[in-house]
Amino acid sequence: MVNLNTIPPKNNRNYYIALGLEGSANKLGVGIVKHPLLPKHFNSDLSYDCEAEMLSNIRDTYVTPPGEGFLPRDTARHHRNWCVRLIKQALAEANIKDPALDLDVICFTRGPGMGAPLHSVVIAARTCSLLWDVPLVGVNHCIGHIEMGREITKAKNPVVLYVSGGNTQVIAYSEKRYRIFGETLDIAIGNCLDRFARTLKIPNEPSPGYNIEQLAEKAPHKDNLVELPYTVKGMDLSMSGILASIDLLAKDLFKGNKKNKTLFDKKTGEQRVTVEDLCYSLQENLFAMLVEITERAMAHVNSNQVLIVGGVGCNVRLQEMMAQMCKDRANGQVHATDNRFCIDNGVMIAQAGLLEYRMGGIVKEFSETIVTQKFRTDEVYAAWRD
Amino acid sequence: MSSKREMPLHHTLELKVPFKTEQQAVIATRVLSPDPILKPQDFQIDYSSEKNVMLVQFRSIDDRVLRVGVSSVIDSIKTVVEAMDELS
């Protein structure tokens, strides 16, 4: 049992308010979360049921032209340009007039992510903390996703599939830590999709993965999957080989290389595969790998719930495939959220940071706020869980 | 520019940033100073504040490293100043 009410709310209020700042990749997010102070949290294991209220959730994405990825320096500049404006807007939306009085805590992403963008956001976080005299809490980005997913879906103890542009992990909770059961050995799934989108030169707006999903849906030859490497290694995955091989296929397709027998008919030279088919096959192949390791993790920890978090978690096809696997297991359930909470955002940082704050974890000196590109999920002591 | 410091770091620059109040200068100093330098053997920064002025002293092995380092600090200072203007 855990007491989530260790630290009373500021000024004898009966609720907590947290500001969350996220900027580990190309999304800059500012969110404000409110938790009521409830007797049921004095001695329980209800960290997934805080009755959280989202007072504001604003995001601004740095979008690059088709065929280009986002670079750390330019992304950091974007975050610097927008950070203060977004904070101001979020406070106004949440109707917070005096943040020095109303905020209990300011939460920021300490890692993992790109160094320069993380740094530009932490500068704003530190300044606000000193200006308003409000304590800081550094949040692990992955933990933010997990806690937001649990709060939204009310999944008590799910196996977590964390799939985004920079991370691919299968996670299960045990003994005060979120343990990594399996992960990618090279690139993340979102990175694989993004880079294929660059090869295709399709727009990065709203997100490259979404555009691939839309193309895949229109694939004319769904019954004829293009063969790609399937690389599951125990509980881990590898995706760089898949990317290399689908990139090669796409280039041959654009060049009209008739020697490629996968793409063109041996005798007639007729085109057998379209760009849409490639998108479809890539998704099917990658998601099947994810489903396989997730199912194995579920068997290991004896769980029948899956929570999908991270940007790629918005993908409806992935949710569908996962649901099918869960249906075949006894009473299995898939929990997923929509793009407001799946894609990087500020409220998830506020949610995870506020849980930490309620357990008494705050930054005591600024040397603890130094951001870090590498910050593994299992490094975090989850004090708020039983 | 002056160059009478430790042997290898000859290229130096001093930045004086005046703020409205002494407290603002202290805040800026505290916000900027915690972050470690990637290559301390090539580049060093010292932050301090005197009354309402923040003092930043840079030392570097060459002018290229100096220029890059200084401009990145100025970028951070802009965020701090904007936050002070807009959020307090």
Query: In this complex, do B79 and A120 lie within 8 Å of one another by their Cβ atoms?
Result: yes
Q: How far apart are the C-alpha atoms of A54 and A93, rounded to whole Å?
A: 11
Q: Are A144 and A22 in contact (CB under 8 A)?
A: yes
Q: How far apart are the C-alpha atoms of A346 and A126, rounded to whole Å?
A: 16
Residue B88 is predicted with a pLDDT of 86
Interface of B with A (CB under 8 A): 27-28, 30-36, 75-76, 78-80, 82-84, 86-88
Whether residue A348 lies inside any domain: the answer is: yes
Could you tell me if A129 and A208 lie in one domain? no
Q: Are A100 and A361 in contact (CB under 8 A)?
A: no
Q: Are B35 and B27 in contact (CB under 8 A)?
A: no
Q: Are A115 and A373 in contact (CB under 8 A)?
A: yes
Q: Count of A–B CB contacts within 8 Å?
A: 60
- Within 8 A of B73 by CB-CB distance, chain A residues are none
Alpha helix (H) residue ranges in A232-274: 240-255
Cβ within 8 Å of B, A 326-365: none
Could you tell me if A229 and A212 lie in one domain? yes
Could you tell me if A194 and A291 lie in one domain? yes
Could you tell me if A190 and A288 lie in one domain? yes
What's the pLDDT band for B3 if we cut at 50, 70, 90?
very low
CA distances from B8 to A100, A216, B36, B40, B43 (A): 46, 58, 19, 12, 10
Q: To the nearest whole number, what is the mean pLDDT of chain A?
A: 96
Could you tell me if A138 and A170 lie in one domain? no
- Within 8 A of B35 by CB-CB distance, chain A residues are 119, 370
Could you tell me if A93 and A138 lie in one domain? yes
Could you tell me if A208 and A312 lie in one domain? yes
Angle between helices A208-217 and A189-200 (to 10 degrees): 70
- Within 8 A of A77 by CB-CB distance, chain B residues are 75
Residue A330 has pLDDT above 90, yes or no: no
Is A94 strand, coil or helix? coil
* Strand stretches in chain B, DSSP E: 11-18, 43-50, 53-60
Q: ∠ CA A371-A347-A77 to the nearest 5 degrees?
A: 45
What's the pLDDT band for B4 if we cut at 50, 70, 90?
very low
Query: In this complex, do A127 and B75 lie within 8 Å of one another by their Cβ atoms?
Result: no
> For A30, phi and psi rounded to 5 degrees?
-130, 125
**Residue of A79, A97, A102, A123 for testing the chain B interface, max B β-carbons within 10 Å:** A123
Query: In this complex, do A123 and B31 lie within 8 Å of one another by their Cβ atoms?
Result: yes
Residue A53 has pLDDT above 60, yes or no: yes
Q: Are A372 and A110 in contact (CB under 8 A)?
A: yes
A160-172 b/e with 16+ CB inside 10 Å = b?
bbbbbbbbbbbbb
Q: How far apart are the C-alpha atoms of A165 and A32, rounded to whole Å?
A: 24
Could you tell me if A126 and A243 lie in one domain? no
Query: In this complex, do B76 and A123 lie within 8 Å of one another by their Cβ atoms?
Result: yes
Strand-pairing partners, residue A155, are none
Q: Which chain A residue's Cα is nearest to B34? A: A367
Q: pTM of the full predicted structure?
A: 0.94
Whether residue A120 lies inside any domain: the answer is: yes
Q: How far apart are the C-alpha atoms of B29 and B34, rounded to whole Å?
A: 9
Residue B5 has pLDDT above 60, yes or no: no
Q: Minimal Cα–Cα distance from B4 to chain A, Å? A: 30
Q: What is the pLDDT of residues B16-73, one digit of tens each?
A: 999 999 999 999 999 999 999 989 999 999 999 999 999 999 999 999 999 999 999 9
Residue B8 is predicted with a pLDDT of 79
Total count of domains within chain A: 2
Could you tell me if A317 and A246 lie in one domain? yes
Residue B2 has pLDDT above 80, yes or no: no
Q: How far apart are the C-alpha atoms of A313 and B70, rounded to whole Å?
A: 40
Residue B7 is predicted with a pLDDT of 53
Could you tell me if A113 and A203 lie in one domain? no
Query: In this complex, do B79 and A83 lie within 8 Å of one another by their Cβ atoms?
Result: yes
The CATH number that applies at residue A215 is 3.30.420.40
Q: What is the pLDDT of residues A86-115, one digit of tens each?
A: 999 999 999 999 999 999 999 999 999 999
Whether residue A2 lies inside any domain: the answer is: no
| Dihedral sign (CA A296, A297, A303, A305) | negative
Q: End-to-end CA distance of chain A, in Å?
A: 6
Could you tell me if A336 and A363 lie in one domain? no
**Residue of A28, A84, A110, A122 for testing the chain B interface, max B β-carbons within 10 Å:** A84
Q: How far apart are the C-alpha atoms of A59 and A86, rounded to whole Å?
A: 8
> Hey, what domains does chain B have and what are their CATH numbers?
11-87 (3.30.310.50)
Cβ within 8 Å of B, A 283-322: none
Could you tell me if A145 and A51 lie in one domain? yes
Whether residue A1 lies inside any domain: the answer is: no
Domain limits for position A220 = 157-341
A138 in contact with chain B, both atoms CB, cutoff 8 A: no
